[in-house]
Amino acid sequence: MAIPLIYNVRSVRARWTSTIVAVLGIAGTVGVFIAMLSLAHGFKATLVASGSPGNALVMRAGSPSEMMGGVTLESIKVIADAPGIARDANGPLLTQEVVGVIPVPLISTGTDANVQVRGVSPNVLEIRKFAKVVQGRMFAPGVSELIVGKNASKTYRGLTLGNVVDFAGGRWTVVGVFDAGGSAFDSEVWCDSHILNEIMKRPANIFQSVTVHLQSPDSFQTLKDSLTTDPRLNVDVIREIDYYAKQSTTMTKLITVLGGLVAGIMAIGAVFGALNTMYSAVSERGREIATMRAVGFGGSSVVFSFLLEALLIAFIGGLLGCLAVLPLNGLTTSTMNFQTFSNLAFAFKITPVLLMEGVIFALVMGAVGGLLPAVRAAAMPVATALRSL
């Protein structure tokens, strides 16, 4: 027969000081667990959002990142004719790109950080359809004008609409601010790729990567087969979304490993706290337990009841931990993207799944912390326990 749950709820309330110890320990652990995972999650989401499944990236074969690529203008002409690429009235939807980094002071610290500057084709907004110019206008082809991502505009000094900035030996006017839907492009600065090549004194007809919009996501294989078998080309074709997902792996792994270690160490501490609380609960209530046994509750009911109590405490702790980290959701931070050596802004992303994982983590800690004390409670000899007070 089961012991009513209300018994546990009342005893948790009656011994609230020692309950708080366990609840706080578990809440802290769950908070850290969720915070770290949401950080890794946010970083990954930002990069993954940068790629759309309807786009493909063409780079020189073997390049791990577009910064190290090299595609000549002749190759681009070949690529433009390949099957599977979407077209509009002005021809194939294709942007030939060059990326570089420029040091620009951060507004927050005043020290330089690397901003990724991307030379693109003027029709880039047709290819990256999620990007929209929200202030000002698109840059004009052939002149040194910039449009800046909304995060870049907020993070760096001087990247505001109408401002003139000097970099790479050129003088640029910021003519627009674009919103790329929370992707990595929001941390970038875009301009005409021909002008960027010219000003950065790079070879005029070499670009680092080409991004094309596919007729449909399914035409990727057609395009890939056609380009990789073409003897005139030596290129890799990769879905844009896969490319950016891969970029996020190092940092995601770093955060996950570090966060996992910290949360793991804390979990041990929290389990100790839970054990302590439950053991003292058991020893304080020796007479109560014995009474329950005496009136006919079985040993397993006692184990179950105490385990339930530990789970209840853990559940409260888990919920508290979730609530404590919720304000972090959407908070923007930035770090270096190892693959591009440039600064990337991203936000904590707390999802319902993460919260649920946090609560499950709490319940596991509660179960581990509650089991031994519960068994001890059930194993207490009834007669001696009744006599002891």
Partner 1 sequence: MKYSRLIFANLLRKKVRLILTIGSFAVALFLFAFLAVVKDAFGRGADVAGADRLVIINRTSIINTIPLSYRDKILRIPGVKAITHNNWFGGVYKDEKNFFPQFVIDPEAQRKVFPELIVPDDQWNAFLKDRQGAIVGARTAQRFGWKIGDRIPIKTTLYGGGAWEFNLDGIYHGKRPQDDETQFWFQWDYFEEKIPEGVKGQIGWYVLRLDSPDDAVRVAKAIDGEFANSPSETKTQTESAFAANWVKQFGNISFLILSIGVIVFFTLLLVTGNTMAISVRERTSELAVFKAIGYSDRAILFFVLAESLVIALIGGVLGLGLAMLAIPALGKALNGLLPALILAPAVLALGLVVAVAVGIVSGLLPGISAMRMRVVNALRRV
**Subset of 99-158 contacting partner 1 (CB under 8 A):** 100-103, 106, 109, 111-114
Q: Please, what is the minimum distance in Å from the beta carbon of residue 211 to partner 1?
A: 18
* Kind of pairing between the strands at 71-72 and 332-337: unpaired
Options 258, 353, 356, 360; binder of partner 1; rule CB under 8 A? 258
Q: Please, what is the minimum distance in Å from the beta carbon of residue 60 to partner 1?
A: 7
Dihedral sign (CA 250, 252, 255, 256): negative
Question: Which CB atom, from 43 or from 297, has the smaller least distance to partner 1?
Answer: 43
Question: Which CB atom, from 222 or from 280, has the smaller least distance to partner 1?
Answer: 280
Residues 6 or more apart whose CB falls under 8 angstroms from that of 302 comprise 3, 289, 292, 293, 374, 377, 378
Alpha helices by DSSP H, listed for the chain, are: 5-14, 16-50, 73-80, 124-127, 150-155, 193-199, 220-228, 240-247, 249-284, 286-294, 299-325, 352-379, 382-387
Strand partners, 72: 206
**Subset of 304-333 contacting partner 1 (CB under 8 A):** 333
How many residues form the binding site for partner 1 (CB under 8 A)?
64
76 touching partner 1, by CB under 8 A: no
Q: Please, what is the minimum distance in Å from the beta carbon of residue 117 to partner 1?
A: 9
C-alpha 32/C-alpha 30 separation (Å) is: 5
Backbone conformation region of residue 182, classed left if phi is above 0, alpha if psi is from -120 to 50, else beta: left
Q: Please, what is the minimum distance in Å from the beta carbon of residue 83 to partner 1?
A: 27
385 touching partner 1, by CB under 8 A: no
Q: What is the DSSP string of 141-184?
A: TTS-EEEEEHHHHHHBTT-STT-EEEETTEEEEEEEEEE-TTSG
Question: Which CB atom, from 81 or from 166, has the smaller least distance to partner 1?
Answer: 166
Spatial contact of 359 and 30, defined as CB atoms under 8 Å apart: yes
Q: Please, what is the minimum distance in Å from the beta carbon of residue 16 to partner 1?
A: 11
Options 41, 50, 51, 60; binder of partner 1; rule CB under 8 A? 60
**Subset of 25-44 contacting partner 1 (CB under 8 A):** 25, 27-29, 31-32, 35-36, 39
C-alpha 194/C-alpha 97 separation (Å) is: 9
- Contact flags string 153-182 toward partner 1, x per CB under 8 A: --------------xxx-------------
Spatial contact of 312 and 370, defined as CB atoms under 8 Å apart: no
Q: What is the CA radius of gyration of the chain?
A: 30
Instruction: Tokens 């080309």: give the residue.
Output: 233
Q: Please, what is the minimum distance in Å from the beta carbon of residue 337 to partner 1?
A: 10
Options 47, 67, 227, 233; binder of partner 1; rule CB under 8 A? 67
203 touching partner 1, by CB under 8 A: yes
Question: Which CB atom, from 67 or from 363, has the smaller least distance to partner 1?
Answer: 67
Q: Which residues bind partner 1 (CB under 8 A)?
A: 17-18, 20-21, 24-25, 27-29, 31-32, 35-36, 39, 60-64, 67-69, 100-103, 106, 109, 111-114, 167-169, 200-201, 203, 250, 253-255, 257-259, 261-262, 265-266, 268-269, 272-273, 275-276, 279-280, 283, 333-336, 341, 343
